[in-house]
């Protein structure tokens, strides 16, 4: 396995520049992190490392992982850092470590691919994990737990609703197997708010940045993969689908701010509120590439309602003074630049 490179100096400095006040509150904090080897987790570890290196935050973290050795091979520059310790285990049945902790980040969840293989069993395992982590938080008397939920909890976004707010009352269709992920996150939110633990909830949407999986499941990731392979960029469907993209450096600024300043038991949408069609995203990816490459749209215009997945982030903007600092062209450029260093891409 070829190791992944660190995030860029620009990304590290961007995070630190917008979290200096937050790190004053988190100085010396000890974090417990589940799901610390995924996209969110890698970025959180990068952010803690940046806070320590550039601000002297002296933060520490214990990361629960089923396979720390694999992570060490994949991201050795993070795995080897002295402020990070590793506990082998699963969120559903891990042994509580003896030391005390200040904060918990609960990122661990089943992927959509895993749900497709044996949805019911994996949902139950994930929910047991949430219950176990909440029990851990109560036992340790932690100050606050941040639960990473998803915009999928809202179900399909109505075509006449340009941005979906936190108080939207729609929900996934429980009879549709494709809704399993959203239902799992909805129930996990309920477990959090009824647990007696001081929790904040973040509902994530779509993201760009280093460590993004370059698979067909993520349009942005597949476009970047196609671009680095020399093209063409292939659009699935007719390209009308609307999404929005927050760079992961901004994502980390949002999560750290919500952890420290968010209102208890409150949910916050996390994402960009600037919508873009998938076709325009493909064209923008081409434009930001080293050389422009072709874009293919095999499908004809599809009938039916427009597929939208764009958050209303007024709550985060107004209550926490958060913003989308990295615009889409810059986000694409940063992602392409880092990913071009990834030697695992053929």
Distance CA 276, CA 256 (A): 26
pLDDT at 343 over 60: no
Domains and CATH numbers, the chain: 9-210+245-274+310-327 (3.40.50.720)
Instruction: Summarize the confidence of residues 312-325 as an average pLDDT.
Output: 99
Q: Is the pTM for the entire model greater than 0.75? A: yes
Is residue 330 predicted with pLDDT exceeding 80?
yes
Q: What is the pLDDT of residues 41-54, one digit of tens each?
A: 999 999 999 999 99
Distance CA 337, CA 318 (A): 33
Of the ranges 25-34, 55-64, 171-180, 187-196, which one carries the lowest mean pLDDT score?
Answer: 171-180
Instruction: Select from 194, 184, 175 the least CA-distant residue to 153.
Output: 184
| pLDDT band (50, 70, 90) for residue 8 | very high
Instruction: Check residues 341 and 81 and name the one with the higher pLDDT.
Output: 81
- Res 269: pLDDT: 99
Task: Considering only residues 90 and 291, tell me which one the structure prediction assigns the higher pLDDT.
Answer: 90
Distance CA 137, CA 195 (A): 10
């Amino acid at each position: 396995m070829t190791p992944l490179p660190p995030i860029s100096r620009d990304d590290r400095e961007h995070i630190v520049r917008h979290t200096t006040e937050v790190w004053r509150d988190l100085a010396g904090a000890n974090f417990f992190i589940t799901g610390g080897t995924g996209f969110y987790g890698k970025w959180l570890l990068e952010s803690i490392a940046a806070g320590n290196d550039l601000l002297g935050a002296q933060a520490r973290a214990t990361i629960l992982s089923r396979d720390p050795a694999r992570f060490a091979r994949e991201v050795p520059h993070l795995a080897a850092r002295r402020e990070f310790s590793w506990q082998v285990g699963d969120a559903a049945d891990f042994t509580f470590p003896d030391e005390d902790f200040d904060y918990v980040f609960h990122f661990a969840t089943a992927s959509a691919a895993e749900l497709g293989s044996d949805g019911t069993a994996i949902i139950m395992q994930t929910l047991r994990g949430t219950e176990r982590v909440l029990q851990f938080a109560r036992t340790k008397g932690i100050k606050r737990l941040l639960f990473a939920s998803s915009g999928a909890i809202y179900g399909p976004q109505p075509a006449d609703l340009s941005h979906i707010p936190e108080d939207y009352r729609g929900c996934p269709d429980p009879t549709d197997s494709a809704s399993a992920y959203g239902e799992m996150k909805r129930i996990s939110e309920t477990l959090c708010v009824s647990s007696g633990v001081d929790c904040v909830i973040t509902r994530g949407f779509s993201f760009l940045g280093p460590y993004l999986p370059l698979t067909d499941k993520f349009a942005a990731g597949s476009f970047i993969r196609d671009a680095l392979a020399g093209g063409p960029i292939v659009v699935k469907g007719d390209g009308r689908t609307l999404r929005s993209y927050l760079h992961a450096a901004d994502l980390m600024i949002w999560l750290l701010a919500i952890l420290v300043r968010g209102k208890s038991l409150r949910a916050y949408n996390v994402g960009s509120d600037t919508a873009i069609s998938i076709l325009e995203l493909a064209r923008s990816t081409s434009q930001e590439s080293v050389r422009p490459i072709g874009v293919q749209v095999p499908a004809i215009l599809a009938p039916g309602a427009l597929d939208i997945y764009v958050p209303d982030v007024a709550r985060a903007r107004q209550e926490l003074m958060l913003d989308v600092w990295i615009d889409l062209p810059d986000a694409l450029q940063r992602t392409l630049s880092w990913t071009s260093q990834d030697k695992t891409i053929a």
